Amino acid sequence: MELSHIAKLNEEKKGPALLFENVKDYNSPVMTSVCTTTERLALIMGQPMDSTLVDLMKIWVEKSNTKVPPKMVDPKDAPCKENIMMGDDVDLFKFPVPKFYPLDGGRYFGTAGFTITKDPDTGWVNLGTYRLQLLEKNRLGTQFIKGKHSDIMLNKYQAMGKPMPVAAIVGCDPLMFLMGAARVSAFDSEYDLAGSIRGEAVEVVNTETNDIPVPATAEIVIEGEVDADAFMEEGPFGEYTGYYSGVGTDPRNFIKVNCVSYRNNPIFWGTTVGRAVTDTHMTMALTYGSTLWQQLVAMKIPGIKAVYCPPEGSGRFLAIISVKQMYPGHADQVLTAAISTEMGAYGLKTVIVVDEDIDPWDISRVMYALSFRFQPNRSQVIKRGRSTPLDPSLPLNARWITGRLLIDATIPYDWEEKPIPIELDPEIVERVKARWSSLGL
């Protein structure tokens, strides 16, 4: 836990990524806090270091239009195959697996990683970040929340009476971790988007035991299977909401691990999750915000200028969208569209739409719009929809349905007489600027 506490406090200060080279009782290192700053997210996406989160989201949305499928490489050239533990030799306790918080139910093998599964009907390969608890030397507890892509696939394997083959990655090109966290639309492979953002195909190799493509440079590759009808006690785990999602353990599916392949001196990656704003929240603000934006564009809604899902709300509970209004009802359309996207239909609670002159990430300008343009008599609507079971604003036994607040903080398009803005006289501004230093300012 000392390691996770160093990482958490470091992330709260927006400190560097940390490589723990000297973990007591282990001879391989641990890496944390990779995604904590916008600068490092830019580095991961191959963008200029002074990019803002919204610049990165804009690139993400653009790159979502192109698919660059992964490329198989020779396993002989794949560092992830340097070491292989098979069958009875599998022992996950050999890796330096952190426990994060005092009330956590145990040590978490999977935080900064992702699970890869294949759709049995179509072959669609999905990457999703789902926490993995170290339960036994060859068992990892999972939590595939209902409706997540791995859950959809697991249901299909269950109907076929077969366990679902999985591979889980810990430690990798961090762009792949962003892909795991991203809510990329169903039936689209996160691999294809990673290739598009990177500008080259992700190099993959097949697993040893179950025919799943995994990144060739992964640090640790877990191979195994999940039986939808088998359960072990899992949790609790300190969530990104800053709270536990339940009071104790819950029966959950688990991965029975049949093989582990790993690099020499593998770097075990972790992210601290827990209270905002740290590593996980920055990851989610980028990936969830980009997904919401991309899905609004895919719905062919004109005039969307920018989308921002603040990391303080883990990138998912609150969205602010700026729009250039073009017709009556346009702002309403944006609001209802946002909660109808695959992203927004799950968990999003508050949507604020602002005019194009307000940058949604400029919170003081958003406050201005909420103060001077928003009118509660006219421009808020409350709806219902699907909640995340992690939302601590709902009672523990009733977390499936949430309210949604839609706030129109724009000047109504259809008003013939709009509020008259106060402008400065441009000529006087120029004159004054020329004399600025002589004014002693």
Ligand X SMILES: Cc1cc2nc3c(=O)[nH]c(=O)nc-3n(C[C@H](O)[C@H](O)[C@H](O)COP(=O)(O)O)c2cc1C
Residues that bind ligand X (CB under 6 A): 111, 126, 128-131, 143-145, 148-150, 180-183, 271, 273, 280, 283-284
**Cα–Cα distance, 130 to 103 (Å, whole number):** 19
User: Which of 181/259 has CB closer to Mn ion?
Assistant: 181
**Position closest to ligand X via CB:** 128
Distance in Å, CB of 289 to ligand X, minimum: 13
Beta carbons within 10 angstroms of residue 370's beta carbon: 15
Phi, psi at residue 429, to the nearest 5°? -60, -45
Least distance from C-beta 287 to Mn ion, angstroms? 11
How far apart, in whole angstroms, are the C-alpha atoms of residue 394 and residue 402? 8
Tell how far CA 125 is from the center of its chain: 18
Rounded to 5 degrees, φ, ψ at 10 are -65, -40
Least Cβ distance, residue 126 to Mn ion (angstroms): 4
Burial 298-319 (b: 16+ CB within 10 A, else e): eeebeebbbbbbbbebbbbbbb
With CB cut-offs between 5 and 8 Å by kind, which of ligand X, Mn ion, none does residue 108 bind? Answer: none
Task: Pick between residue 125 and residue 369 the one whose CB is nearest to ligand X.
Answer: 125
Helix/strand/coil for 349: coil
Query: 3-state class of 228 per DSSP?
Result: coil
Question: Site map for Mn ion, 293-322, x if CB under 5 A?
Answer: ------------------------------
Question: From the CB of 114, what's the least distance to ligand X, in Å?
Answer: 7
Q: Contact region for Mn ion (CB under 5 A) — 121-129, 160-168, 312-320, 417-425?
A: 121-129
- Closest to 61 in 3D by CA, of 249, 227, 306, 375: 306
Cα–Cα distance for residue pair 57/356, rounded to 1 Å: 17
CB nearer to ligand X: pick between 132 and 338: 132
Q: CB-wise, 185 or 210, nearer to Mn ion?
A: 185
117 contact choice in Mn ion, ligand X, none (CB below 5 to 8 Å, kind-dependent): none
How many residues contact Mn ion, by CB under 5 A? 3
State which residue, 178 or 335, has the beta carbon closest to Mn ion.
178
Smallest distance, Å, CB 188 to Mn ion?
7
DSSP secondary structure letters along 269-280: EE---SSSSSHH
Binds 131: which of ligand X, Mn ion, none (CB < 5-8 Å by kind): ligand X
* Residue 177 or 208 having the CB closest to ligand X: 177
The structure tokens listed for 330 are 């346009």
Q: Which is nearer to ligand X, 150 or 209 (CB)?
A: 150
Which CB sits closer to ligand X, 194 or 331? Answer: 194
Write each residue from 160 to 199 as x if it is in contact with Mn ion (CB under 5 A), else as -, in one continuous string. ------------------------x---------------
Q: How far is Cα 321 from Cα 408, in angstroms, rounded to an integer?
A: 10
Should residue 126 be labelled a site residue for Mn ion when binding is judged by CB under 5 A? yes
**Helices then strands (H, E): number in the chain?**
10, 22
Sorted by sequence, the CB contacts under 8 Å of residue 374 that are 6+ apart come out as 380, 407, 408, 409
Nearer to Mn ion, 63 or 149 (CB): 149
Among 40, 131, 149, 316, binds Mn ion (CB under 5 A): 149
In the three-class reduction of DSSP (H, G, I as helix; E, B as strand; rest coil), residue 434 is classed as: helix
**Segment near Mn ion (CB under 5 A), from 125-133, 171-179, 211-219, 311-319?**
125-133
Kindly state the smallest distance separating residue 438's Cβ from ligand X, in Å: 55
163's CB contacts (< 8 A; 6+ apart) are 157, 225, 226, 227, 228, 256
Q: Residue type at 344? A: G
Name the residues that contact Mn ion, by CB under 5 A.
126, 149, 184
